[in-house]
């Protein structure tokens, strides 16, 4: 990969920061949405098969549609931003002996594999929907269910792994003291595991918000489902959002406790407080949407949670800039434009 990495110029750092910020927000929102909704779809689908409940299968089919959209959308929002983040960090960490950049490459690979499997999982629902009857139809249905089990589990597992490398890259980057331990440090750092746990809680919270948004607001609400399934989806989404968004805040705060003191600044605290405030308002809108079935509230929940992710990314960026201040100074000092 060294042949693809070039020395940054002073003027490129601002551009790299903007690119990394936008890419991180897009990727975190989409990856959280895809991971959370696909995990819910897989769980509901398996429970529906065990209990022989057609309604649960229909709910799972709608959830996986929310999670994946189609492969083109997934590649644009789930793979391209990951490559952009890798490129930005090659500039921030130029000539540093650190495993961070490799983490983002592995995240890109696993995100791609996960999206491929989840699209196969979504297609299997379509096969089951249009195949009826006896004889050979049963064989086709059995094959479809087997395919759904494997592709769904592999898709969710791959996104879990991709998310781990992505979040681990962000966490390890802000603590140069960890770099000397090599690639394996991502699996042993408490900072990584706390931040990853926060990410998982956030993913389930985002999935809950997305269910409220899509089943209640998007294009007049998801159609071709019964009112019973719609009510169950909104109740499930509200429960997830109310339960996991506060946990997301708690584990994010625990992660901040373990980063080096020198990486803190007023901007880190301000952006973190703004994220918490927006998430508090989001919880209020979730409750309002649940009680009043208000479409505007359903829309605002999705907008607000995306805004909170922006503030979280900006807080992470401020932490990273504090941690790499000396590195950035040296790069600017010796860049061609500086001379």
Question: What is the overall mean pLDDT for the chain?
Answer: 82
Q: What would the pLDDT profile of 206-222 be if each residue is shown by its tens digit?
A: 998 888 888 876 555 56
Residue, of 145 and 262, whose pLDDT is higher: 262
Task: Provide the 10 A C-beta neighbour count for residue 18.
Answer: 11
> What percentage of the chain reaches a pLDDT higher than 90?
34
Entry pTM: 0.86
SS3 state of residue 324: coil
- Residues, the chain, total? 339
Residues 35-70: b if buried by 16+ CB within 10 A, e if exposed? bbbbbbbbebbbebeeeeeeebbbbbbbbbbbbbbe
Query: What's the pLDDT tens digit per position in 289-303?
Result: 888 777 788 788 888
**What is the arithmetic mean of pLDDT over 72-101?**
87
Q: What is the pLDDT of residue 65?
A: 80
Q: Residue 174 pLDDT > 60, yes or no?
A: yes
Mean pLDDT value across residues 102-116:
94
Beta carbons of 214 and 223 less than 8 angstroms apart: no
Is the pLDDT at 261 greater than 90, yes or no?
A: no
Taking residues 114-118, report their average pLDDT: 91
**Distance in angstroms (rounded) separating the CA atoms of residues 339 and 9:** 10
Sign of CA dihedral 118, 42, 63, 206: negative
Confidence category of residue 331, pLDDT binned at 50, 70, 90: low
| Cα 23 from Cα 84, distance rounded (Å) | 6
Taking residue 292's Cβ as centre, other Cβ atoms within 10 Å add up to 10
With a cut of 90, say whether residue 181 has pLDDT above it. no
- pLDDT class for 339, splitting at 50, 70, 90? very low
């Amino acid at each position: 990969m060294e042949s693809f990495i070039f020395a940054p110029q002073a003027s490129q750092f601002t551009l790299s920061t903007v690119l990394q910020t936008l890419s991180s927000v897009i990727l975190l929102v989409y990856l959280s949405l895809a991971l959370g909704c696909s995990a819910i779809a897989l769980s509901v689908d398996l429970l529906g098969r065990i209990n022989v409940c057609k309604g649960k299968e229909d709910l799972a089919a709608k959830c996986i549609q929310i999670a994946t959209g189609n492969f083109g959308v997934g590649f644009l929002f789930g793979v391209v931003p990951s490559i952009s983040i890798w490129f930005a960090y090659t500039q921030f960490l130029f000539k540093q002996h650190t495993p961070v950049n490799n983490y983002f490459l592995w995240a890109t690979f696993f995100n791609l594999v996960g999206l491929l499997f989840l699209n196969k999982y979504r297609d299997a629902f379509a096969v089951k929907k249009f195949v009826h009857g006896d004889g050979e139809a049963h064989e086709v249905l059995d094959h479809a269910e087997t395919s759904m089990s494997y592709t769904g589990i592999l898709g969710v597992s791959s996104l879990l792994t991709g998310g781990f490398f992505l979040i681990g890259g962000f966490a390890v980057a802000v603590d140069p003291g960890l770099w000397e331990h090599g690639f394996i440090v991502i699996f042993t750092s408490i900072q990584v595991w706390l931040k990853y746990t926060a990410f998982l809680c956030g993913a389930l919270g985002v999935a809950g918000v997305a269910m409220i948004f899509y089943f209640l607001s998007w294009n007049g609400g998801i159609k071709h489902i019964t009112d019973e399934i719609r009510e169950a989806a909104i109740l499930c989404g509200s429960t997830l959002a109310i339960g996991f968004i506060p946990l997301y805040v708690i584990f994010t705060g625990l992660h901040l406790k373990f980063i080096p003191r020198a990486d803190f600044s007023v901007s880190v605290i301000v952006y973190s407080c703004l994220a918490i405030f927006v998430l508090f308002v989001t919880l209020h809108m979730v409750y309002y949407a649940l009680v009043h079935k208000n479409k505007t509230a359903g829309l605002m929940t999705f907008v607000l949670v995306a805004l909170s992710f922006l503030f979280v990314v900006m807080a992470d960026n401020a932490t990273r800039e504090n941690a790499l201040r000396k590195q950035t100074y040296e790069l600017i000092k010796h860049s061609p434009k500086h001379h």
